[in-house]
């Protein structure tokens, strides 16, 4: 098993321990978006859920130079500016990039069971 796959399994284990089993990459991306939104546990509309996914993707890909955090609006929602266009990637390549970005996010944020909160 590659290092990335081992680290990815550690990420999945972390989230499943906290939120229950059966989480896929989209669920993990959503949870990271909720963490980054920082508004705690609240009911979200369908459009807000899409926005939360976007927040997560921007946050995850910011270290790669694709997005830059611009600040928060008056409602507290983070906004990003696209800095460069994402390359066209096959589905497997997209998945690998996102897994790597999530692993790096967990490392950078030094997330543990005690630190991952609904901010």
User: What are 70's two structure tokens?
Assistant: 């611009």
Better-predicted residue by pLDDT, 119 or 14: 14
Q: Is 74 helix (H, G, I), strand (E, B) or coil?
A: coil
Residue tagged 């069971």 (tokens):
113
- Digit-coded pLDDT (tens) for 46-105: 999 999 999 999 999 999 999 999 999 999 999 999 999 999 999 899 999 999 999 999
What's residue 119's pLDDT? 37
Burial (CB count within 10 angstroms: exposed 0-12, middle 13-18, buried 19+), residue 52: buried
What's residue 118's pLDDT? 40
Residue tagged 């991952």 (tokens):
116
- Digit-coded pLDDT (tens) for 7-18: 898 889 888 988
Residue tagged 């807000």 (tokens):
48
Burial (CB count within 10 angstroms: exposed 0-12, middle 13-18, buried 19+), residue 6: exposed
Q: How far apart are CA 5 and CA 65, in angstroms?
A: 23
């Amino acid at each position: 098993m590659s290092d990335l796959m081992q680290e990815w399994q550690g990420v999945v284990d972390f989230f499943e321990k906290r939120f229950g089993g059966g989480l896929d990459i989209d669920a993990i991306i959503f949870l990271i978006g909720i963490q980054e939104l920082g508004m705690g546990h609240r009911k979200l509309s369908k459009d807000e859920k899409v926005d939360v996914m976007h927040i997560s993707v921007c946050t995850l890909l910011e270290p790669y130079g694709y997005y830059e955090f611009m600040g928060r609006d008056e409602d507290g929602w983070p906004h990003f500016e696209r800095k460069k266009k994402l390359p066209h990637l096959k589905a497997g390549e997209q998945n690998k990039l996102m897994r790597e970005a999530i692993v790096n996010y967990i490392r950078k944020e030094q997330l543990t069971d005690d630190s991952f909160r609904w901010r």
